Structures are given as structure tokens and as C-alpha cells.
Amino acid sequence: MDELIDAKIVLEDGTVFKGYSFGANGYGVGEVVFNTSMSGYQEILTDPSYKGQIVTMTYPHIGNCGVNFEDNESIKPFVNGLVVKECSRIKSNWRSKKGLSEYLKENNIIGIEGIDTRALTRHIRLQGEMRAVISTEDLDDKQLIIKAKNSLSLIGRDLVREVTLEKFFYFNEKGAYNIVVIDCGVKTNILRKLKALNCRVSVVPANTDYQKILKLNPDGILISNGPGDPSAVTYVVATAQKILGKLPIFGICFGHQILAQALGGKTYKLKFGHHGGNHPVKDLRNGKVYITSQNHGFCVDIESLNKTDIELTHINLNDNTLEGIRHKKMPIFSVQFHPESKPGPNDAEYLFEEFIEMIKSNKRRQTIKDEE
């Protein structure tokens, strides 16, 4: 077993939790959030949407399945730190290749265990998400509080530039439907779902000019999930505005916030965000309730949307925040949650099929128009 090294997590409001480190030593700073998923820690670690954040797992025992080579949602972990009640040094899964602590150490990410994660989660729920620092260095609490306060806030911060790919690539080069994915921090399972639906999948950097996107002759556009403040990523909003009405568009999570802004809406910071695989969402069109996977700290302001043109399709049953929209005239829809799951339930996978049906319908209309 690894030697226990003292560590602490200090929040910008002065709250201190003492424990032991696992993974890398040193320190990590970021906005501390909590995730209510009971499994899927590897997918959470490698979700680019967590860039800039320290993730607290509310489930007490993390790491017992180890880490494998198949479940990553991107090329590397993006979290700034990991907080757990207990990190398992014993891994038991036939696909496991290494332990969680070893994996974090390889990627220079600090973790802390042995703290009361229930108390930390309750504090975040009451006081809101805030900046924090995890440290094994010999610094006193006052110095760590200053370090937390001096770290960058997520409000007004463009983190998409730090996670988007550098150049275009094909995820799948053959398929009946040509889909261009605007990569704001896309999870690999979104791309897998499109491939499974017989889509040719092209992935482009977030700052790609809309004319270059249209030259790829897409049948539809998907704007992906991503980290940070959506109001700071004005260049993607501008791209979306120029594509409106030309092609079917599907937005997921961050992409939902981008589309809402492109349609004239505004976004705001939630008190403690939605992170986990057990969030109930109601489809207002049929009354069904789906259990969804979510990861976002910002939300679309319902009152800022033009209800004449935009239909509200989904609502969060925990706090009544907006979870989905659809344009009444143009082939555009988006959801705040993650229909591709990973981790989490697959209740909302049907939305990928709705996207394909929207593309088919749009192609039929174009054929009729061309014949006329």
C-alpha cells in the first residue's frame, strides 16, 4: 500500500478538510463541485467538461474497478483534482490495467481521500460552488486560502480553447448521413452513438469558420459539450448563428447553451451545478420522466428566450431549470443533459434517433424544393 501523505483541501471561504493524498503530490486548484454518480469515475475524469474543476465523488468508495484503456471519453483526464472518501488500492475487474492512484500520478493530478465528503457536499449545496486548492505542500491555511482566491474563476472564462482539438479529423469516414461535430470538448461516446446510427462523422475545432464547415457538405451539425462559461465563447455562438436555418442542428449540454445564445437567449451560473447520473428530467411534450446524466455549472435563462419561436421541451424536476428546447420553424433542438450517457443511464439515447429523423425530413424537403 502507498505511504499515506498528509493533504488538505482548502476552500476560498476558509473551510478546511484534512486527509491523505493519492495520485500526484503538490497542489491542484479549481472550482470544487460534487458528482452524485455511483460508478463511471474513469469517464468523469476524462470528460473535457470538467476542465478547471476539482470533482468530489459523493459515493464513498472509488477506484475498485481500476482503470482500463476503453472507457476514456478523451485522450487524457481533464479534472484539476479528485476528492473521495476512500480510494481503493485493490482493483478487481477483468478489463483493469492499472489502479486509480497510479493513473492520476501518471497524469500529474492530485487526489485527496479520508475527508468527510458528505460534509463537503453539504457545504457546497448551502454556500455554492467555489474555488479551492488541494495541497500536500507545507503551506499554512492562510496561504492556501490566498492561493484558492487567486485562482481563476470559471465565470467569464473561455476553457473551450484549452480542450478543443487542433485540427479536423474523421471519427468515421463512411455513412449514410454526413455529420459535422463542432468540438467544444466532445465526449467520445457522442461520436460512437453517431457512428452506430450509420453516420459519417467529421470533427472540427471549435473556432472553425462556418464557411469551412459548410464546404464539408454536412447533412447536420452537432455542437458538443464543453467546459467553462458559454457566454465567453462568442465565436462558437457566431458560427451557430450563421448556420441557423441552413441545416439541422443538435446541441448537447454546452452546445445547448451555445444554441440558446445564438437564438437570442442568455445563460447564468448555477449555485452548485448539475453533476451526476441520476437527474430526473421531464419531457414536456409527452409527460415522460427520464433519468439523465448531467455535467454543467451554467444554465439557459428561460425568461430570456423568445417563446414565439422556441418551444421548451424538457425541464429539470429537481430545480425546474431548463433542460431542452426546439425551434418551432427551423430544424434545431438541444438538451442540457447527456443523452450519450457514459457514465449514467441510457434513457435519453432516443434523441440521437430524433436527430437522424430531423435530417431525413430536411433532406426530403430539400428534394421536393429542388424538383419544383
- Whether 191 and 218 have beta carbons less than 8 Å apart is answered as no
Measured between alpha carbons, how far is residue 293 from residues 84, 161, 226, 275 in Å?
A: 20, 24, 14, 8
State pLDDT tens for residues 93-150. 999 999 999 999 999 999 999 999 999 999 999 999 999 999 998 778 999 999 999 9
Q: What is the mean pLDDT of residues 175-201?
A: 97
208: part of which helix (H) or strand (E)? none
Residue 206 predicted with pLDDT over 90: yes
Mean pLDDT of 49-66: 97
- Calculate mean pLDDT across residues 31-41: 96
Query: How confident is the model over 200-220, as a mean pLDDT?
Result: 97
| CA atoms of 161 and 228, how far apart (whole Å) | 10
Tell me the average pLDDT of the chain: 95
Dist CA 108 CA 140 (whole Å)? 22
d(CA 161, CA 178): 25
Region 331-349: mean pLDDT is 93
Q: Torsion angle, CA of 31/203/221/344, rounded to 10 degrees?
A: -50
Residue positions annotated with a catalytic role: 253, 338, 340
Q: Mean of the pLDDT values across residues 15-42?
A: 95
Give yes or no for a contact between 343 and 39, defined as CB atoms under 8 angstroms apart. Answer: yes
Tell me: the pLDDT tens digits for 243-280? 999 999 999 999 999 999 999 999 999 999 999 999 99
pLDDT at 73 exceeding the cut of 60: yes
d(C-alpha 372, C-alpha 188), whole Å:
41
Residue 209 has pLDDT above 70, yes or no: yes
**pTM attached to this predicted model:** 0.95
pLDDT value at residue 215: 96
Residue 1 pLDDT exceeds 70: no
Pairwise CA distance, residues 77 & 158, whole Å:
19
Q: Which strand (E) or helix (H) includes residue 82?
A: strand 81-83
Residue 370 has pLDDT above 70, yes or no: no
- How confident is the model over 77-107, as pLDDT tens digits? 999 999 999 999 999 999 999 999 999 999 9
The structural domains of the chain, ordered by start, are 5-150 (3.50.30.20), 160-371 (3.40.50.880)
Q: What is the mean pLDDT of residues 152-164?
A: 94
The stretch 228-244 carries a mean pLDDT of 97
Residue 2, pLDDT score: 59
- Position 136 scores a pLDDT of 94
The CA distance from 233 to 213, in Å, is 18
Q: What is the pLDDT of residue 118?
A: 97
What is the reported pLDDT for 4? 84
Could you give the percent of the chain with pLDDT greater than 70? 98
Distances (CA, A) of 102 to 23, 96, 277, 350: 6, 12, 25, 37
Query: Residue 344: pLDDT above 90?
Result: no
